[in-house]
Amino acid sequence: MTIIRQETKTRMSRIVKHNGVIYLCGQVCKDASLGIEEQTYSMLEKVDELLDQAGSDKKHILSATIYIKDMSDFSKMNNIWDNWIPEGFAPARACVEAAMARNALLIEISVIAAEI
């Protein structure tokens, strides 16, 4: 089977496709000066864009791993998530507290999805 890499840089590819499965690199918000709700919304918009580019959508997400800087923001993040993910299409998901690559970042997500 062929592995397709899109938007490949030195360290990573933004999208990797193999055997009908799409892997997205970690996604963060567009503006790290914003609060957790805005960062979460912006991050999920980027996921939507990449999934569309890769030939999928949020109804086909298999797994999501969320990295959150502070678990006190968990419920605020979940409010955005719950409104974003279509009812009946919740993927397998993990959420862990983690240090971020940049101090201003509050959240990051890694997604695995099926091609449609």
User: Is 112's pLDDT higher than 80?
Assistant: yes
Please state the rounded mean pLDDT for residues 91-107. 97
Q: How far apart are CA 75 and CA 55, in angstroms?
A: 31
For residue 1, the model assigns a pLDDT of 74
- What does the DSSP assignment read for the chain? --EEEEEE-SS-EEEEEETTEEEEEEE--S-TTS-HHHHHHHHHHHHHHHHHHHT--GGGEEEEEEEES-GGGHHHHHHHHHHHSPTT-PPEEEEEE---SSTT--EEEEEEEE--
> Domains of the chain (ranges plus CATH)?
19-114 (3.30.1330.40)
Contact 53, 15 (CB under 8 A): yes
Tell me the pTM: 0.95
Percent of the chain with pLDDT over 90: 99
- State pLDDT tens for residues 57-87: 999 999 999 999 999 999 999 999 999 999 9
